[in-house]
Amino acid sequence: MTSRGRVRPGWLTLAVVPEGHTIHRLATRHAELFAGDKVHVDSPQGRFAEGAARLSGTVLDGTEAYGKHLLHHYAGELTLHVHLGLYGKFADGSGAPPPAVGQVRLRLRSDRHWLELRGPTACELLTPPEVAALRGRLGPDPLRADADPDRAYARIRRSPTPLAALLLDQSVVAGTGLIFVTEALFRAALPPLLPGRDLTPAGWADLWVDLVTLMTRAVERGRIDTVRDAHLPEATGRAPRVDRHGGEVYVYRRPGAPCHVCGTEVRRGTLAGRNLYWCPTCQAG
Ligand SMILES: [Zn+2]
């Protein structure tokens, strides 16, 4: 993590589809840059002009990530809610902001730092009841200390829906995207199409702990690494992964390649329009 005052702009540009760890890193980053400071806010593109005018001149009290949702809490019970979606992107830096080029939805600056946001799915102000409603729509987030995994299992254990689809449903578990879900199911030796109701309580307990472990590591490293030491290139002599995503993974986006554990070809399938990847041998169920 970059220390306060020494800012590398564009440090998150390697992210592909932001999963929860990216949003938690952004929340920490934004608090480092702006918490306790009065901010000036505008919307060069104009689509957030009214909200920007209400925020401008207020002090950022703190930030928070919940799943893939980023919240900035400002003095006066004003909360800025951002969901990046597929195309949203933040940039930040020290000193004065650069001239706004293109579609800058939100621009925020203090005496020391600036931040700009382009292309989000959501950028809006929420009242406290609206923040509560947002929390109520989301399942437990493995990266939050207040997460209650029993809430998720109450949904999973009653459902005939494939486990992969349940874990991607943000109202069941918040913050998990395709990489975490695919990889956690591999590590648990569970077939992605296993009906939720067939997952045992012990199986869920292990899966939750593994999600917490993988996601916490991703927050620390800024990338998703899921491969155990015994299966890393250093241990087995195989070539390291080459992928825009960056981290070492077992099956995500490796269709046709040999499984790092058993050598079987990794399979790809689709589920509700999303790609799924799994090893038919290790995850035979
Ligand atoms: Zn395998």
Res 9 pLDDT > 70: no
- What is the residue type of 258? P
Q: Which architecture does CATH list for 149-278?
A: Orthogonal Bundle (1.10)
Are 20-137 and 149-278 in the same CATH fold?
no
What lies within 8 Å, CB to CB, of 202 at 6+ separation is none
pTM above 0.85, yes or no: yes
Tokens matching residue 105: 């939805």
- What is the residue type of 33? L
* Distance from the alpha carbon of residue 146 to the mean position of ligand 1, in angstroms: 35
Is residue 105 a contact partner of residue 118, using CB atoms and an 8 Å limit?
A: yes
Q: What is the mean pLDDT of residues 21-34?
A: 97
Res 18 pLDDT > 90: no
Please indicate whether residue 89 is annotated as part of the active site. no
In this structure, whether the domain defined by 20-137 belongs to CATH 3.40.50.300 is answered with: no
pLDDT in tens, 237-249: 898 887 766 789 9
Q: In what order do the strands lie in the sheet with 113-118?
A: 40-42, 104-109, 113-118, 89-94
Res 112 pLDDT > 80: yes
User: Both ends of the chain: CA-CA distance in Å?
Assistant: 39
Tokens matching residue 245: 């995503």
CA 253 to chain centroid: 18
Q: Which is more confident, 58 or 5?
A: 58
Q: What is the mean pLDDT of residues 112-116?
A: 97
* Distance from the alpha carbon of residue 251 to the mean position of ligand 1, in angstroms: 9
Instruction: Provide the percentage of residues in the chain whose pLDDT is more than 90.
Output: 86
pLDDT in tens, 206-262: 999 999 999 999 999 999 999 999 999 999 989 888 776 678 999 999 999 999 999
pLDDT in tens, 183-208: 999 999 999 999 999 999 999 999 99
Res 139 pLDDT > 90: yes
* Range 130-134, long-range pairs (CB < 8 A, 24+ positions): 130/79, 131/71, 131/79, 131/81, 134/66, 134/69, 134/81
**Which pLDDT band, with edges at 50, 70 and 90, does 15 fall under?**
very low
Q: Is 173 exposed, middle or buried (0-12, 13-18, 19+ CB in 10 A)?
A: buried
Please indicate whether residue 280 is annotated as part of the active site. no
pLDDT in tens, 78-110: 999 999 998 999 999 999 999 998 999 999 999
Query: What mean pLDDT value characterizes the chain?
Result: 92
pLDDT, position 8? 43
* Distance from the alpha carbon of residue 221 to the mean position of ligand 1, in angstroms: 26
Out of 135, 195, 274, 280, pick the active-site residue: 274
Task: Report domain extents, the chain.
Answer: 20-137, 149-278
Alpha-carbon distance of 18 to 35, in angstroms, equals 23
Res 121 pLDDT > 60: yes
Please indicate whether residue 274 is annotated as part of the active site. yes
Please indicate whether residue 98 is annotated as part of the active site. no
Among 174, 192, 256, 218, smallest CA distance to 227 is for 218
Res 1 pLDDT > 50: no
Out of 25, 68, 253, 254, pick the active-site residue: 68
pLDDT, position 16? 53
DSSP letters, 178-237, are HHHHHHHHHHTT--TT-BGGGS-HHHHHHHHHHHHHHHHHHHHHSS-----GGGSHHHH-
- What is the residue type of 126? L
pLDDT in tens, 147-177: 999 999 999 999 999 999 999 999 999 999 9
